[in-house]
Amino acid sequence: MKILLKDVLVVTQNQSREIFHGSVLIEDGFIREVSEGSIDANPETVISGKYAVLPGFINLHTHVAMSIFKGMGDDVPLDKFLEITFTLDARRDAEDIHAGAMLGIAEMLHSGITTFVDFYYSEDVIARAAEKAGIRSVLCWCTLDEEFTTQRGKPLQNAETFIREHRGKPLIIPGVAVQGVYVASDETWLKAREIAEKYGTVCTYHLAETKKEVYEFAKTGRGRPCEHLEKIGFLSQNQIAVHCCYLLRKEIKALAKNGVSVAHCPASNMKLASGVAPVSAMVEEGINTGIGTDSNASNNTLDIVREARIAGLLQKVMFGNPALLPAQTLLDMITVNGAAALGMKNKIGSIETGKRADLVVFNLEHPSLAPADRGNIVPGIVYSASQGAVEYVIVDGEIRVEHGRVNGEEKIVEAAENARRKFPGVFKSG
């Protein structure tokens, strides 16, 4: 299938960060040509108008199947939130996990997300949803010590089985996750790394999310969580550390030295009053830093552009410097940085010939973006654009959002509403 984006504003995110009016030709899932002029082609579909096309956005951390839990754990600290979610998780079945995943994926597509990193159990169910929706996904099976799990079977074995069974699928990349130092022994951490390295895939984990996590772990005599993981030889490339609100400069240097990427989740960290990650210091030290929405239970939205805006504003006010995390850096975090974190910088993250055709198209006449032009499009996207400005989303050369609509979203919402009824009034906020 050929799709031609004709006479549009192209925000390439290539190494030179070129922006120009031109055309992009998509064929068989790839970007075949990018031109500042016209392209001779005979496409089945032409998209032309007052549009800006950008590389599809990358959400580095979420728990997508929790989308049906909106409002069920609000206004409580993290330890209470985890108690609520663990209780809910223990009551789930494949049907409601699938419904929650479909709902979350639809919401992500609406904000221009074409790739997401998921952190959950039952990733086999979520994989079915992702394949049905046609979104690129990195699905990391959650591991922890058996005494703490609500999973059936052994978490590490579950993770390895999932990876073996889902390798090689076009849009599915299976990986492994570790819940955190509060429920995972050194043996679990090192085995998770071993599995990731064995299959050449991603390992992701929650790290230094709250003061309580850091200080309670330090009381065990093993040091702070990050320094302990370095001490036992866990830290390495192809890892994504999530949250990282409480890191000392030496710990930031340790992550940088070992090639660990970071997923910053500002809205979730703010909502749970967990803390503010020192992202500007991470960037200074050379850590590849991207952005994650976290779940709909802890954030209540999966809008990655909104998340990028919050990330920038939070660093500016926290450290009293309006120049921190400028718009271009924020756009990098949800495109090229996200691709680098996944080891996919040669496949996605920018609009360049030969890369996979993962693109988001914004309507420049939408009130949240207008007036928009080449000079203000980057801050316009990061600071101004709403989900309503997303006109098309293309994943692997296939149109997944058209004129702001996800195909079949009415049925997706209905299924999610039915699944939610399994949990009537289980918990109240506050």
Tens of pLDDT along the chain (430 residues)?
899 999 999 999 999 999 999 999 999 999 999 999 899 999 999 999 999 999 999 999 999 999 999 988 888 888 888 888 888 888 889 999 999 999 999 999 999 999 999 999 999 999 999 999 999 999 999 999 999 998 999 999 999 999 999 999 999 999 999 999 999 999 999 999 999 999 999 999 999 999 999 999 999 999 999 999 999 999 999 999 999 999 999 999 999 999 999 999 999 999 999 999 999 999 999 999 999 999 999 999 999 999 999 999 999 999 999 999 999 999 999 999 999 999 999 999 999 999 999 999 999 999 999 999 999 999 999 999 999 999 999 999 999 999 999 999 999 999 999 999 888 655 444 4
Instruction: Clarify whether residues 65 and 85 are in a common domain.
Output: yes
What CATH number did the domain enclosing 48 receive? 2.30.40.10
Domain extent, residue 42, equals 2-55+351-409
Q: Is residue 422 part of a domain?
A: no
Instruction: Clarify whether residues 183 and 327 are in a common domain.
Output: yes
Number of domains in the chain: 2
Residue 399 identity: I
pLDDT in tens, 250-291: 999 999 999 999 999 999 999 999 999 999 999 999 999 999
Which of 341, 359, 376 marks a domain boundary?
341
Which residues, including other chains, have CB under 8 Å from residue 120's CB and lie 6 or more apart? 63, 64, 65, 66, 126, 139, 140, 141, 142, 177
Instruction: Clarify whether residues 266 and 375 are in a common domain.
Output: no
Helices and strands in the chain, H and E counts: 15, 17
Q: What is the largest CA-CA distance in the chain?
A: 67
Tokens of residue 299, six digits: 């954030």
Q: Is residue 307 part of a domain?
A: yes
Q: Is residue 427 part of a domain?
A: no
Residue 291 identity: I
Which of 286, 318, 341 marks a domain boundary?
341
Instruction: Clarify whether residues 240 and 267 are in a common domain.
Output: yes
Instruction: Clarify whether residues 43 and 73 are in a common domain.
Output: no
Residue 272 identity: L
Instruction: Clarify whether residues 29 and 168 are in a common domain.
Output: no
Instruction: Clarify whether residues 251 and 398 are in a common domain.
Output: no
Instruction: Clarify whether residues 401 and 278 are in a common domain.
Output: no
Instruction: Clarify whether residues 122 and 212 are in a common domain.
Output: yes
Q: Is residue 425 part of a domain?
A: no
Q: Is residue 424 part of a domain?
A: no
Instruction: Clarify whether residues 87 and 174 are in a common domain.
Output: yes
Which of 341, 367, 399 marks a domain boundary?
341
Instruction: Clarify whether residues 284 and 326 are in a common domain.
Output: yes
Instruction: Clarify whether residues 210 and 274 are in a common domain.
Output: yes
334/116 Cα distance (integer angstroms): 11
Q: Is residue 172 part of a domain?
A: yes
Q: Is residue 320 part of a domain?
A: yes
What CATH number did the domain enclosing 77 receive? 3.20.20.140
226/246 Cα distance (integer angstroms): 9
Tokens of residue 261, six digits: 């990427």
- Kindly report whether the global pTM for this prediction surpasses the value 0.85: yes
Q: Is residue 107 part of a domain?
A: yes
